A and B are shown apart, each in its own frame.
Chain A
Amino acid sequence: MGQLAQNLTDIGYMDTLAADSTPLHRLDPRAKLLTTALFIVAVVSFGKYEVSALLPFLLYPVYLAAQGRLPVGYLLKKVLLVSPFAVVVGIFNPFLDSGVLLRVGDFGVSGGWVSFASILLRFFLTVSAALLLLALTGMNSICEALLRLGVPRTFVVQLLFLNRYLFSLTAEAESMSRARALRSAGRGCMGFGVFIQILGHLLLKTLDRAERVYRAMLCRGFDGHIRVARFSNIGRPELLFCGAWTALFLVFRFVNLPVALGQAVTGLLK
């Protein structure tokens, strides 16, 4: 199987994971969506040199992955795949901000390195939470939840089609790349000219295919609203999930637990 085909299977695998039936999967998507949004806001609201206070937030993704019986290795790979973006954002911090911020024995750590670590940690927390939400809920249910929360329909339908057309795009790209490889006499790398041609063609073919998919949807009564078969209502489990995690996020946000724990331990030792 080609790399592209593998990626296609990978995209679809998130939907397969979302079809599971653990209590977390069965929670109303709105509860998971709102809690994850709150989690992300809490994580990004810290100052740029904050690292220790972010650590307790790891509890949320760990809880979701464990309770939702999700494959941790697969999700970590997905996080790693997008990590270069975060690295590029923070990589220059150690050079631009060289003032020593903390000392570990004789070793001084500059503010740049601390803020770089903070960026990486925040990236890990937010991206893993978003991926876990997707793997626990599925794109269609997330979109349905967005609609029920009052997000404009135009925006939600755009998001939905963007997700569905990823499949069309990958499938077309896979077949074109295979066709090129079979007629390129073993040359692995395509020239810039060929690449541009393929890219142009890919766009046209994908638009064409997207049109056919859309037509097929219209024929089955699509009216701009994707309905999902499994959609629960807000009940006690949802209120408990939202309430408990909101309370924990507030504690994590306003109390630096690792520092408090450290102070308590050193106080006891004295």
Chain B
Amino acid sequence: MSHHIVEAQGLRYSYPDGTPALEDVSLRVEHGEAVALVGENGAGKSTLLRHFTGCLFPAAGTLRIGGLPVDKEHLAEIRRAVGMVFQNPDDQLFMPTVFEDAAFGLLNLGVAGAQLEGKVMGALETVGAAHLRSRPPYRLSQGEKRAVSIAGVLVMQPDILVMDEPTSNLDPRSRRRLIELLRTFKHTRIIATHDLDFALEVCGRTIVIHKGRVTADGPTREVFGDEKILRLSNLEQPAALRKCPACGG
């Protein structure tokens, strides 16, 4: 797979009960870009992310990742290239210890022995969770769980990192650590979030989704400067872009 490009053309999807989730979504994310997906609750962000990992397939339109169409035939390659960090770390962490959980994906790729140990510990160190290796995941704090779930994905060396609400339930310090960590990554990053300040710091580009359609796509500062677009999607300007409430400056 070459060029970690994500390209969707006229993507449509409706849930089995008939609820439309995506209606004509077209976008192209280039190699190494950090893109925020923002929108109101139920706008279709999570549904779109599920398409990127082949958990859902488009009802119409095309989706290509690294030049490969997202279909059952290419599922293994797609999932090898795309690492998904789920909104709730508890959905992702299910092995008895942190080490085993972080190793889960690598073991599925057939890595074993000293190489496995080295790669897993490397990923745990990257997220600052090496000291947790023998702990059972369900006893960790939310911030630690998030770090371990990111390590479990990083260890597979994905080309594209997809994250669903990564800052939800994090205390300010853990959130700051996550921002600093994500800034160091060179992967293509697609991050669905409601935390616009976070998006402003991490993502150079923002795509706004409203009722299953792309309503804005551009540099993050520009998009967040358009109050009309934000209001339409139940969003507010991030604090960093608002005027000072004390002096109005």
Contacts and interface: CB of A to CB of B under 8 A. Distances in A.
A221 B109 CA distance: 7
B7 interface: no
B86 interface: yes
B95 interface: yes
Nearest to B108: A221
B96 A216 contact: no
Interface in B81-95: 82-84, 86, 88, 90-92, 94-95
A16 interface: yes
B96 A221 contact: no
Contacts of B80: 221
Interface residues of B, number: 35
B136 interface: yes
Given A218-B55, A220-B156, A213 B97 contact: no
A16 B135 CA distance: 8
B99 A229 contact: yes
A36 interface: no
Interface in A138-166: 138-140, 164
A115 to B, nearest CB: 40
* Interface bin, chain A: 20 to 34
B58 to A, nearest CB: 17
Contact of B84 (A15, A209, A219, A229): A219
A63 B203 CA distance: 59
B202 interface: no
Interface in A26-65: none
B105 A221 contact: yes
B181 interface: no
Given A221-B80, A221-B108, A221-B109, A216 B97 contact: no
Nearest to A12: B136
